[in-house]
């Protein structure tokens, strides 16, 4: 299975003052699907076999089988089916791995996969009714239901993961994103979205809203710790609450070559793993170990890492486990979710799209991974191969 191309909307800040406050979630998905087809005019829409769209909170304009709804709204032929999928933060990642498995089995040739989250309209957990037995039967600690509290738990478990380190990592993410944006790297992935406001009228979203240029570790020191008094997790070393959508085209390689579609990267394998829900941020560690073992690879074979930055502490837990320096240039070269935002179910495809762009610039790298922690105690990792790899280029693997 090959990753053809990926795009996303600019990510916005959730809430009444955010740029998408009065924009529908399904309309953001429509923009993404249409942009994928605009960028690949050689793809007949009727050749798309499936549209898989993830959302964590599947109600309102994110409900009613959003994959099918968005396909129809985007103008795809009525013969093209679609479905909705949920694995919390890894929704889009799971949309890709699920449809990729269908391609591997021979059920699909070409699919659209992605995700959306409008956290301003639908906060995480809206309408959910967790079974009281989770806590009353001591199945999980009550902190497992609050993602920021699980990040504080990670600090407790690994004392070497200090607030000073997480603030320094968060500042680095902002700085790398700013450098990439100024170099024109970020804009290439974005599709502009028309926005409306009862007060300001119509507008056009062309860039991410969450980044904070000029951030330093020192500027993050005094921020409040909302999840625990005198804690370590702050709005500065965490991803924010965001709105946005992502999407990608995936295909079997024969169909891609037949239609003249670009091959951005090849899927080598993937794995999901469960961990204690109270420390869900450590999930990428066993997921990556599982994926590497299945692929017959080691962490030393990986030349690029796109790690979702839900919280800086979970990124550092991953890097420490594998002995990777926290300022390693292979890790999130263009910054990450702490800077650009994390609209839950959409983020997996953002990671993939950026890794595909890195591969195009780095023929010296053969393998890369996209990995993320997942709410309620999981992790997911996908291993990718660079089709542009040139062993004579030297440098990383």
Q: What residues are annotated to the active site?
A: 89, 342, 373
3-state secondary structure of 68: helix
Q: How far apart are CA 174 and CA 339, in angstroms?
A: 5
DSSP letter, residue 197: E
179 membership: H or E segment, kind and range: helix 163-182
Q: How far apart are CA 209 and CA 203, in angstroms?
A: 13
Instruction: Kindly provide the b/e burial profile for residues 328-362, where b requires at least 16 CB atoms within 10 angstroms of the residue's own CB.
Output: eebbbbbbbbbbbbbbbbbbbbbbbbbbbbbbeeb
Cβ neighbours, 10 Å, residue 209: 20
383 membership: H or E segment, kind and range: strand 378-385
Q: What is the dihedral of CA 387, 392, 393, 397, to 10 degrees?
A: 70
Q: How far apart are CA 329 and CA 289, in angstroms?
A: 21
Best CA proximity match to 241, nearest among 120, 150, 116: 120
DSSP per-residue letters across 246-291: EEEEEE-HHHHHHHT----EEEEEEEEEE--GGGGGGTHHHHHHHH
Give Cα 148 to chain centroid, integer Å.
18
- The tokens describing 166, both together, are 């997480």
Looking at the chain, the number of H-run helices and the number of E-run strands are: 12, 12
């Amino acid at each position: 299975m090959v990753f053809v191309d990926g795009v996303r909307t600019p990510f916005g800040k959730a809430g009444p003052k955010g740029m998408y406050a009065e924009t529908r979630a399904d309309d953001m998905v429509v923009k993404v699907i249409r942009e994928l087809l605009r960028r690949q005019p050689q793809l007949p829409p009727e050749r798309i076999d499936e549209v898989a769209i993830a959302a964590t909170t599947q109600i309102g304009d994110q409900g009613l089988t959003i994959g099918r709804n968005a396909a129809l709204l985007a103008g795809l032929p009525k013969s093209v089916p679609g479905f909705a999928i949920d694995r919390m933060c890894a929704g889009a990642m799971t949309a890709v791995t699920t449809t990729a498995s269908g391609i591997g089995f021979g059920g699909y040739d070409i699919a659209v996969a992605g995700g959306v989250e409008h956290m301003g309209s639908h906060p995480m957990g809206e309408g959910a009714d967790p079974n009281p037995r989770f806590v009353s039967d001591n199945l999980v600690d009550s902190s497992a239901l609050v993602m920021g509290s699980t990040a504080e738990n990670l600090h407790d478990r690994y004392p070497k993961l200090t607030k000073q380190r997480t603030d320094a990592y968060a500042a680095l993410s902002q700085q790398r994103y700013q450098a990439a944006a100024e170099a024109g790297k970020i804009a290439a992935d974005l599709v502009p979205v028309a926005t409306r406001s009862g007060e300001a009228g119509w507008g056009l979203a062309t860039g991410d809203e969450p980044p904070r240029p000029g951030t330093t570790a020192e500027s993050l020191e005094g921020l409040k710790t909302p999840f625990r008094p005198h804690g370590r997790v702050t709005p500065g070393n965490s991803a924010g609450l965001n709105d946005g959508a992502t999407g990608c085209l995936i295909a079997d390689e024969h169909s891609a070559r037949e239609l003249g579609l670009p091959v951005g990267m090849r899927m080598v394998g993937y794995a999901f793993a469960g961990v204690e829900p109270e420390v869900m941020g450590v999930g990428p560690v066993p997921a990556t170990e599982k994926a590497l073992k299945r692929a017959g690879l080691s962490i030393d074979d990986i030349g690029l890492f796109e790690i979702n930055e839900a919280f800086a502490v979970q990124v550092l837990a991953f890097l420490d486990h594998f002995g990777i320096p926290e300022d390693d240039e292979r890790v999130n070269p263009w910054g990450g979710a702490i800077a650009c935002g994390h609209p839950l179910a959409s983020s997996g495809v953002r990671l993939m799209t950026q890794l595909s762009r890195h591969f195009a610039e780095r023929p010296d790298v053969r393998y890369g991974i996209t990995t993320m922690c997942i709410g309620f105690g999981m992790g997911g990792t996908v291993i990718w191969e660079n089709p542009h790899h040139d062993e004579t280029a030297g440098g990383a693997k």
